[in-house]
Amino acid sequence: MDSCPIEEIEKVKTTLKYPVKLIEDNKKDFLWDFKNSIKSHVITHPSPVNEKFFHLNLLHEFIHGLHYERFSKAFSKNNFIIEYKDDPLVELKIPDYFNCARDWFVNAHIYRKCFKEMSLWNQTDYNKCSKYINELGDKTLNERQMLSAGLIFAEADKWQNLTPPNYQNLQQVVEAYISVSPETPSLKKLESLIKSLFSSIGSFIAKMALEDGLPKWTIYKA
Ligand SMILES: [Zn+2]
């Protein structure tokens, strides 16, 4: 079960230009970052003891590092300004769109390398989410949950031919992911997906402009 992700982690390590520092912290979830001060990737992770999909999670963070080195820095840092302040939670909501969009590309990489393991991981989330949504519908989901559930169902649809639950709001989010093929990441595709995710939920509009080669997003109220 773990051999494919373990092998892939080793392969990614050899292709990365910068070293990777792993930090175990049980109070934190899996998280990748690039620390300029030490010119290293830093991956924080909980203890492997209680994590059934520990190595897949770890591989996921390594792929964030790979995308950071290989593609635009847009695949790592959120650079945005918000053009309105009506919603006090807006600063917290916007990063979810960027994070979920990047995960669509990261997980596609893992599906292509460790299909069996990734399918099992997603199937577990698919079952949990389907049960919840079939009991309560999709109206109770907040934006973050819509984006995460949409990602799980879009992956299940694309890679495993599993039908997403039939709820209109959620379907729009799933379609936004599916509209962008994730196999070969690019800034253009990332831009397209972020815009589609914004319009599928409908609260915001995003415009992107390049500043010194790096994308800067401006967020407006829809
Ligand atoms: Zn991620």
Q: Where are the chain's structural domains? A: 1-70, 78-222
- Per-residue confidence at 85, pLDDT binned at 50, 70, 90? confident
Q: For residue 157, report the distance from its CA to the centre of ligand 1, in Å.
A: 19
Q: For residue 97, report the distance from its CA to the centre of ligand 1, in Å.
A: 11
The answer on pLDDT for 104 being more than 80 is: yes
Instruction: Decide yes or no: CATH 3.30.160 for domain 1-70.
Output: yes
Q: For residue 179, report the distance from its CA to the centre of ligand 1, in Å.
A: 20
What is the residue-wise DSSP string for 133-180?
HHHH-STT--HHHHHHHHHHHHHHHHHH-PPPP--HHHHHHHHHHHTS
Q: For residue 64, report the distance from its CA to the centre of ligand 1, in Å.
A: 7
Bridge partners of 41, per DSSP, are 20, 34
Q: For residue 26, report the distance from its CA to the centre of ligand 1, in Å.
A: 18
Edge to edge, the sheet with strand 31-35 lists 20-24, 40-45, 31-35
Q: For residue 165, report the distance from its CA to the centre of ligand 1, in Å.
A: 24
> What is the Cα–Cα distance from 83 to 25, expressed in whole angstroms?
36
> What is the Cα–Cα distance from 33 to 38, expressed in whole angstroms?
12
List, in order, residues 6 or more apart from 126 with CB less than 8 Å away. 152, 153, 156, 162
What is the residue-wise DSSP string for 92-129?
HHHHHHHHHHHHHHHHHHHHHHSHHHHHHHHHHHHHHH
Question: What is the number of residues in the chain?
Answer: 222
Amino acid at 11: K
Which pLDDT does position 1 carry in this prediction?
A: 65
Residue 10 has a CB neighbour count (10 Å cut-off) of: 10
Summarised one tens digit per residue, pLDDT across range 167-178 is: 888 999 999 999
Q: Which of 166, 153, 152, 143 is nearest to 222 (CA)?
A: 143
**Average model confidence (pLDDT) across the chain:** 92
In the predicted model, what is the mean pLDDT of residues 134-139?
A: 87
**How remote is the C-alpha of 138 from its chain's centroid?**
20
